[in-house]
Amino acid sequence: MKQLTIIIACALITISCSTSIGGFTPTSKSAGGIGPATIGNGDTFLDHDEFEALTIESGNLIINEVLILESLKASNDVNANKLNMKGSSYIGGSLIDSNSSFAETCTVSNNITADRSYFAKNIEFSGINLTLQNKSRVVGNIVSTSTKPTTIIIDRSLVKGTISFINPNSKVIIQNKGHLVGKVFNGIVQDITSSDNYKGDDDDFVESNIAIK
């Protein structure tokens, strides 16, 4: 009877629609350190983890204080807090991130909302909305690949590179002391900050707090 109970418990764990991992280094023994992981069992929550590379084959990904050295591939939505992304990232759904840093190009198939986050290279996205807020910073370019009218909001944040659209009815809204250094191609700009644009040199924006170390 005890053996049957153990078998049933294991079966319930196997068919669970959600994966929760904390303090887990999947191949640390074989890789000699933090290793790659592939997860394909519904929604996933990762907390205080480190990976060489991470692949999410199904479900959404929620992460808190995670370091990924090489690559992130997620099939659906990603909600990230304090993600330190050293390599490239591909997200098959939408991205919502806060207090995060991306060292390489970030490619997103849907919408993006970034709060106090840092992008060292380009952002490529296929959604119709991208919002940068609360002192986020993009050093590279932003490329919209959507054929639909797209809106990019720069809200008290800084974009150093250029912004380009496929649909000419797209627009960039600059508000709350947001600032765009580069040019906008194939779209219009609505600057509602008057002359008091955020130039990225405020003392309260300390890039080293969120930049890649």
Query: What integer pLDDT is reported at residue 37 of this predicted model?
Result: 92
d(CA 127, CA 113): 11
Work out the average pLDDT over 27-45: 66
Instruction: Please indicate, yes or no, whether the overall pTM of this predicted structure exceeds 0.75.
Output: yes
**Is 24 a residue whose pLDDT tops 60?**
no
Mean pLDDT of the chain: 81
d(CA 90, CA 105): 9
Question: Which pLDDT belongs to residue 35?
Answer: 81
What's the whole-number mean pLDDT along residues 142-171? 97
* Mean pLDDT for the stretch of residues 158-184: 95
CA distances from 122 to 38, 80, 102, 106, 138 (A): 25, 18, 9, 6, 8
Q: List the one residue out of 142, 156, 154, 153 whose CA is nearest residue 184.
A: 142
Task: Please state the rounded mean pLDDT for residues 21-39.
Answer: 52
Q: How far apart are CA 208 and CA 142, in angstroms?
A: 22
Residue 179 clears pLDDT 70, i.e. is over it: yes
pLDDT per residue as tens digits for the range 97-139: 999 999 999 999 999 999 999 999 999 999 999 999 999 999 9
Of the two residues 4 and 138, the one the predictor is more confident about is 138
